[in-house]
Amino acid sequence: MKRVLLTLAVLALLPGCAWILPAANETPKAYINTISPPEVTEGETVRLSGYGTDKDGEVVGYRWRSDRDGELGTAAELDTHSLSVGKHAIFFMVQDNNDAWSAEATASVTVLPVVAAPVIIDAFAASPLAIERGDAVTLTWQVSNAQTVTLDHGVGTVSATGSATVTPAETTTYTLTATGDGSTASAAITVSVQTTVHQITLAADTEESGFVRSSGAFTTGYVYVGDDSHNRGIQGFLTWDISRLPDEAVITKVIVDMSDYETPHDRPLPDLESLTAYEHPYDTLYNEYWSLAPSTPLAEWWSMDDLDEPTSEPGFAEALQDRVGDNRFQIRLQFAEAETDDDDDNDLLRWVPEHLPMLIVEYHT
Is beta strand 105-112 parallel, antiparallel or unpaired with respect to 39-41? parallel
Question: Which pLDDT band, with edges at 50, 70 and 90, does 17 fall under?
Answer: very low
Domains and CATH numbers, the chain: 24-112 (2.60.40.10), 127-194 (2.60.40), 199-364 (no CATH)
Angle at 269 between CA 265 and CA 272, to 5 degrees: 100
Averaged confidence pLDDT in the chain: 89
Backbone angles phi, psi at 288, to 5 degrees: -115, 35
Tell me phi and psi for residue 171, to 5 degrees: -55, 125
- Yes or no: say if 28 and 53 are a contact pair by the CB < 8 Å rule: yes
Is 203 within 8 Å of 353 (Cβ atoms)? no
Question: Residue 122 in contact with residue 144, Cβ under 8 Å?
Answer: yes
Burial category of 173 from C-beta neighbours within 10 Å (exposed 0-12, middle 13-18, buried 19 and up): exposed
Cα end-to-end span (Å), the chain: 114
pLDDT digits (tens, 9 = 90+) for 19-31: 556 689 999 999 9
Q: What is the pLDDT of residues 93-107, one digit of tens each?
A: 999 999 999 999 999
